[in-house]
Amino acid sequence: GIQVEQSPPDLILQEGANSTLRCNFSDSVNNLQWFHQNPWGQLINLFYIPSGTKQNGRLSATTVATERYSLLYISSSQTTDSGVYFCAVEGMDSSYKLIFGSGTRLLVRP
């Protein structure tokens, strides 16, 4: 099945710093989404981005489907950005399930 790898596994930032999280996937995908799992465990959908670039406030994401990777940019990080960021993809052989990566654990220090 499709493999999803995220890097880095852990990231520590000072408040106000910028960061880039990467997601590589092993095969063509129909769907790619980025999620933020906050310290309370809740999964928040950040982007649905199978290709192209999107921006939402301080966050933006770019997916280059032909090269099988996606990037999540966080600018001017805040302590509330802390948590785990997951990339999840839907392979071409399925319309009903997302395969998650192992996540990037982000800690933003004040």
Partner 1 sequence: EPEVTQTPSHQVTQMGQEVILRCVPISNHLYFYWYRQILGQKVEFLVSFYNNEISEKSEIFDDQFSVERPDGSNFTLKIRSTKLEDSAMYFCASSERAMREKLFFGSGTQLSVL
Positions that interact with partner 1 (CB under 8 A): 30-31, 33, 35, 40-45, 48, 50, 86, 88, 90, 94-103
Cβ-based nearer residue to partner 1, 14 or 96: 96
Partnered with residue 54 across adjacent β-strands are 61
Cβ-based nearer residue to partner 1, 18 or 45: 45
- State how far the Cα of 96 lies from the Cα of 30, in Å rounded to an integer: 11
CB 17 → partner 1: shortest distance, Å?
25
Count of other CB atoms within 10 angstroms of residue 38: 13
Whether omega before 8 lies within 30 degrees of 0, making that bond cis, reads yes
CB 77 → partner 1: shortest distance, Å?
23
- Sequence-distant (≥ 6) Cβ neighbours of residue 66 within 8 angstroms: none
Cβ-based nearer residue to partner 1, 9 or 16: 9
CB 14 → partner 1: shortest distance, Å?
25
Report which of 43, 42, 72, 69 is spatially closest to residue 57, judged by C-alpha positions. Answer: 72
Cβ-based nearer residue to partner 1, 41 or 110: 41
